Amino acid sequence: MKGKNILGKLSLIALCALATTQSCKKEDGIDNNNIIQRPYVVYAADEAGRVIKTNEGINYKTIFPGDGTPLRAIVTSKTNILIFKDKNMFFSDDQGLSFNPYLNHSTPLTIKWPYFILSVESTDRIYTASTLAGSSCGNMAYSHWDNGRSFDADTNWKNDTAFSIESLTQLDNGVIYGYSLTGSKNGISKLFYKLGKDEPFMPRKTDLTTPYNFYLSHYNNTLVATDYDGAKGVWYSSDSGKTFKQYTGVPSVTLYATYGKYDQLFVGTDKMGIYRLEGTAFVSSNSGIEFGTTVYSIVGKDNYYKNNVTKKFFYIGTSTGIYRSEDLGKSWIKVSKDNLKYTLVF
């Protein structure tokens, strides 16, 4: 979700003449290189369930007080925010000034990762694994017209497939994928895909059928499957999920998060920090991160400036605080002012 312009009204700034150089100075001395046209917003949650937000990684504002229950997921749709607790889901339509609980929505309690919910900005839809739908509808629900205020069972499945989805992702080409640890009722496939909002979820025959705790993510148009428990590492598919190959270099520990953006792919590990993909091998990328840190969550954010320059940032939520990278994950600086465990960043 994009935040409002933190510099206030730009009407006070004089316009540049049409005949300008690439970098133009304003008449009042303000430089376009330093004027943020579209700032980012980062949300983070600590282990007590408190949710904070920031526009620059330094100053934070609490938008949801800690209640002793950690968050399981955060998503946004337009200006709406949804947060998932252990058994409850909360909704805000005023950018976090207030939250209201849902009364008719619940999610499976056995999912270990936050990837059971997916916000699709291009269609303003949110898909989530949900007991609201029931197994006959694939245990999927979606918000299709009000950006998360309400959910309906998703009944658009080819051949009325019955299964339970545990993770969702969307490739850069727009195709949505879902993965089932329990498989479909005919036992043929555990991978499903959706080509558009009005298209059904369809089974994809895949060789990713080993009985491990895989969750889905992506890297550009590469589909990525990570074994949460670490035994089978991280796998990738360049042919729409039909066949998978294994990345190397991933330690055999719990792999809490896998995230790709800006042509980078990262894995967050238990007590071994963060790993970054180089070619087809992951390497440790922990410069600036405290030794023994667990990385629970990863997100990338943009700052767009008025001279069309874009700055790219990565944030990680960890057992020792929130860290930010300004060099595509090669090094990190701690930006939180405490030593709390942050289980989610978004």
Q: Please check whether residue 58 lies inside any domain of the structure.
A: yes
CA distance 163 to 87: 21
CA distance 129 to 22: 48
> Which one-letter DSSP state was computed for residue 232?
S
Q: Does the pLDDT value for residue 8 go beyond 60?
A: no
Flag the least confident range among 142-146, 221-225, 269-273, 314-318. 142-146
Q: Does the pLDDT value for residue 321 go beyond 50?
A: yes
The predicted model gives 35-57 an average pLDDT of 87
Q: Does the pLDDT value for residue 244 go beyond 90?
A: yes
* Side-chain half-sphere exposure of 53, counting CA atoms within 13 A: 17
The predicted model gives 271-299 an average pLDDT of 97
**What domain count does the chain have?**
1
Q: Please check whether residue 3 lies inside any domain of the structure.
A: no
The predicted model gives 41-63 an average pLDDT of 92
* 318-322 long-range Cβ contacts below 8 angstroms, 24+ apart: 318/268, 318/289, 318/293, 318/294, 318/342, 319/271, 319/293, 319/294, 320/289, 320/290, 320/293, 322/44, 322/57
Q: Dihedral (C-alpha) 132, 299, 336, 327: value to the nearest 10 degrees?
A: 180
Strand ranges in 61-190 using DSSP code E only, listed in sequence order: 61-64, 73-77, 80-84, 89-92, 100-101, 117-120, 125-129, 140-143, 152-153, 167-170, 176-179
What percentage of the chain carries pLDDT values higher than 90?
51
CA distance 180 to 208: 11
Buried b (16+ CB within 10 A) or exposed e, 215-238: bbbbbeeebbbbbbebebbbbbbe
Enclosing domain of residue 141: 41-345
Q: Please check whether residue 33 lies inside any domain of the structure.
A: no
Q: Does the pLDDT value for residue 6 go beyond 80?
A: no
Helix (H) or strand (E) holding 37: strand 36-38
Among 79, 95, 92, 83, smallest CA distance to 44 is for 83
Q: Does the pLDDT value for residue 18 go beyond 50?
A: no
User: Could you tell me if 230 and 242 are in contact, meaning their C-beta atoms sit under 8 angstroms apart?
Assistant: no
Flag the least confident range among 50-54, 85-89, 187-191. 187-191
What are the two backbone dihedrals, phi and then psi, of residue 251, each rounded to the nearest 5 degrees? -70, 155
Q: Please check whether residue 25 lies inside any domain of the structure.
A: no
> Which one-letter DSSP state was computed for residue 135?
G
* Side-chain half-sphere exposure of 102, counting CA atoms within 13 A: 23
Rounded (5°) CA angle 320-326-327: 110
Flag the least confident range among 151-155, 278-282, 336-340. 151-155
Give the bridge partners for 179, in sequence order: 167, 191
- For the ranges 11-20, 107-116, 189-198, the one whose mean pLDDT is highest: 189-198
Among 122, 124, 199, 212, smallest CA distance to 167 is for 212
What are the two backbone dihedrals, phi and then psi, of residue 137, each rounded to the nearest 5 degrees? -110, 15
Q: Please check whether residue 18 lies inside any domain of the structure.
A: no
The predicted model gives 70-78 an average pLDDT of 90
Q: Give the amino acid at 49.
A: G
> Which one-letter DSSP state was computed for residue 290?
P
**Residues 117-128: tens digit of each pLDDT:** 999 988 889 998
Helix (H) or strand (E) holding 203: strand 202-204
Q: Please check whether residue 118 lies inside any domain of the structure.
A: yes
| 3-state SS class at 33 | helix
The predicted model gives 40-69 an average pLDDT of 91
pLDDT score of 11: 25
- For the ranges 24-28, 30-34, 299-303, 319-323, the one whose mean pLDDT is highest: 319-323
User: Could you tell me if 295 and 285 are in contact, meaning their C-beta atoms sit under 8 angstroms apart?
Assistant: no
pLDDT score of 342: 95
What mean pLDDT is reported for the chain?
83
Q: Please check whether residue 20 lies inside any domain of the structure.
A: no
Q: What is the CATH number of the domain that holds 277?
A: 2.130.10.10
Q: Please check whether residue 138 lies inside any domain of the structure.
A: yes
pLDDT bracket for residue 267 (50, 70, 90): very high
- The alpha carbons of the chain give a radius of gyration, in whole angstroms, of 21
pTM here is: 0.86
**Residues 173-228: tens digit of each pLDDT:** 999 999 988 765 555 668 999 998 889 888 888 988 777 899 999 999 999 999 99
